[in-house]
Amino acid sequence: MALTSEQEPREAGETQATPITSRFLFVDVAAQRAKQLRRGALSRLDRQSHAPHKLERVAMEEVRSGLVDYTLPARFELFGKPAR
């Protein structure tokens, strides 16, 4: 699984990522995004308050909002079973 470039902000007219229906995939994508945030990537959320938030929570909210693009390996199906 790969995420898109850490530093490229999403354009206003771009479509959102495919919704994640698997909670395991959600955790994997959010963990990768949290790692990017820890390494200095900018948050993609528009926050009104500037209170500090845990990076894991920020990553989960970004994934839940469809702000994080991801790709799956070629032989992976959305239900977590390998393709035959």
Question: What are the boundaries of each domain within the chain?
Answer: 28-84
Comparing C-alpha atoms, which of 31, 43, 22, 42 is closest to residue 3?
A: 31
Q: Which position has the higher pLDDT, 21 or 8?
A: 21
By the 8 A CB rule, do 56 and 33 touch?
A: no
d(CA 13, CA 46): 16
pTM beyond 0.85: no
- pLDDT the model gives residue 19: 80
Q: Which position has the higher pLDDT, 61 or 4?
A: 61
pLDDT surpasses 70 at 30: yes
Extract the tokens encoding 17.
């990522």
